[in-house]
Amino acid sequence: MSLADIDLQTLDGQRKRLADYAGKTLLVVNVASKCGFTPQYKGLEALYRKFKDRGVEVLGFPCDQFGHQEPGDAAEIQSFCSLTYDVSFPMFAKVEVNGPNTHPLYRKLKQAAPGVLGTEGIKWNFTKFLVDPQGRVVKRYAPTTTPAAIEADLAPYLK
């Protein structure tokens, strides 16, 4: 199974496939509403607004595996993102990024771009993966890497 074949579900219950984003540069992020890194929503939204017309998509995947920092249901997550950070980039249903129920997208991302010392596990919310327009995972970023710091890595892929 390639990245393009992976089934997704949006926060509002729509079925998508990663293939729906073919030809786009993707920044895939596991997000949470009650995390110390939650203010990164502002930077992610800024990146999205700046580059969405140039082929960049930010894809947010809520995750509640780290300190119960995403306890809400889909409606609560959507409301928080809209009201607090005016998020307009695509948000998806809550996923697991580690363990036996790891979402297939995160299984592929972690295999393609392991972390420090080759570990595949996601260490915390707001870990980011850059996927090029051909569907190749280019880079993995730590939660501490700000969206602004990623901007330079997007340059080669802008349309």
Q: Which residue bears the tokens 């996927």?
A: 131
Catalytic residue among 31, 35, 44, 130: 35
Reading the block at residue 10, the tokens are: 């949006």
Q: Where are the alpha helices (DSSP H) in the chain?
A: 40-51, 74-85, 104-112, 147-154
- Residue 40 and residue 71: Cα distance in Å, rounded? 18
Yes or no: say if 104 and 6 are a contact pair by the CB < 8 Å rule. Answer: yes
Reading the block at residue 16, the tokens are: 């998508």
Is 81 part of the annotated catalytic residue set?
no
List the catalytic residues: 35
